[in-house]
A and B are shown apart, each in its own frame.
Chain A
Amino acid sequence: MISLRDVRFEYPHGGFSLDVTELTVASGTRAAAIGPSGSGKTTLLNLISGIERPGSGEVSTAGVRVDQLSPAARRSFRITTVGFVFQEFLLLEYLDVFDNILYPYRLHPELGLEASVRSRARRLASDLGLASLFDRRPSELSQGERQRVAIARALVTEPGLILADEPTGNLDPATKQQALDLLFEQCEARSTTLLMVTHDHGLLDQFTQIVDVEALGPTEA
Chain B
Amino acid sequence: MKDSMYLAWRYLCHHRAKTLLLVLSLSVFLGLPLIMRAMSRATQRSLLDRAEATPLLLGKKGSSLDLVVEALYFQLKGAEAITEADVDAIQATGLALGIPIRTGLMARGFPLVGTSLDYFRFRNLRIAEGRGLAMMGECVLGTEAAKTLGLGPGDALLTSPSTLFDLAGVYSLKLNVVGVLQPSYGPDDEAVFVDVRTAWVAEGKGHGHQDLAGAGPDLVLKRKAGTVTANAKLLQYNEINESNVDSFHFHGDPSGYPVSAVIAVPHDEKSGVLLRGRYVDAEARQLVRPARVVDSLNKQIFRFERILEIVVWTVGLATAVMFVLVMVLSWRLRAEELRTMTRLGCSRWKAAQIMGSEIVIMVGASIFIAGVFGIVMAQYGETWLQNLILRGA
Interface residues of A (CB under 8 A from B): 49, 51, 72, 75-80, 82, 84, 86, 90, 92-95, 99, 103-109, 113
Contact = CB atoms under 8 A, between A and B. Distances in A.
A94 B337 CA distance: 11
Contacts of B6: 106
A75 B345 contact: yes
B51 to A, nearest CB: 57
A47 B179 CA distance: 90
Contact of B347 (A75, A92, A93, A94): A75
A95 B10 contact: yes
27 contacts: A75-B345, A75-B346, A76-B345, A76-B347, A77-B345, A78-B343, A78-B344, A79-B345, A79-B346, A82-B345, A84-B344, A86-B343, A90-B336, A90-B340, A92-B337, A99-B10, A103-B344, A104-B345, A106-B6, A107-B341, A107-B344, A107-B346, A107-B350, A108-B345, A108-B346, A108-B350, A113-B3
Given A79-B345, A90-B336, A108-B345, 17 more contacts: A72-B347, A75-B345, A75-B347, A76-B347, A78-B343, A82-B345, A92-B340, A93-B14, A95-B10, A99-B10, A104-B344, A104-B345, A106-B6, A107-B3, A107-B344, A107-B345, A108-B350
A78 B343 CA distance: 8
B251 interface: no
Contact of A94 (B4, B14, B344, B346): B14
A99 B13 CA distance: 14
B15 interface: yes
Contacts of A90: 336, 340
A95 B354 CA distance: 14
Nearest to B6: A106
Contacts of A76: 345, 347
A40 B7 CA distance: 34
Given A105-B3, A106-B6, A94 B15 contact: yes
B11 interface: yes
Nearest to A91: B340
Interface in B336-372: 336-337, 340-347, 350
Contact of B3 (A79, A80, A92, A106): A106
Contacts of A77: 345
Nearest to A88: B336
Contacts of A79: 344-346
Contacts of A72: 347
A107 B14 CA distance: 19
Interface in B21-53: none
Given A105-B3, A113-B3, A94 B11 contact: yes
A106 B345 contact: no
Contact of A84 (B2, B13, B336, B343): B343
Contacts of B344: 78-79, 84, 103-104, 107
Contacts of B350: 107-108
A109 B346 CA distance: 10
The 10 A-B pairs of least Cβ separation, nearest first, read A79-B345, A94-B14, A78-B345, A107-B346, A106-B3, A90-B340, A75-B345, A94-B11, A94-B10, A75-B347
Interface string B81-119: 000000000000000000000000000000000000000
A104 to B, nearest CB: 6
Contacts of A51: 342-343
A93 B3 CA distance: 17
B14 to A, nearest CB: 3
Nearest to A105: B3
A80 B336 contact: no
Nearest to A103: B344
A142 B168 CA distance: 82
B73 to A, nearest CB: 54
Interface in B303-347: 336-337, 340-347
A82 B88 CA distance: 100
Contacts of B336: 90
A198 B56 CA distance: 96
A28 to B, nearest CB: 22
Contacts of A106: 3-4, 6-7
A78 B336 CA distance: 18
Contacts of B343: 49, 51, 78, 84, 86
A113 B7 CA distance: 14
A82 B345 CA distance: 9
Contact of A80 (B4, B337, B345, B346): B345
A96 to B, nearest CB: 9
Contacts of A49: 343
B341 to A, nearest CB: 6
A94 B346 CA distance: 18
User: Which of A84, A94, A95, A113 counts the most chain B CB atoms within 10 A?
Assistant: A94
Nearest to B7: A106
A138 to B, nearest CB: 11
A109 B4 CA distance: 9
A86 B6 CA distance: 24
Nearest to A165: B343
A132 to B, nearest CB: 21
User: Which of A77, A79, A84, A86 counts the most chain B CB atoms within 10 A?
Assistant: A79
A154 B369 CA distance: 41
Nearest to A92: B337
Contacts of A94: 10-11, 13-15
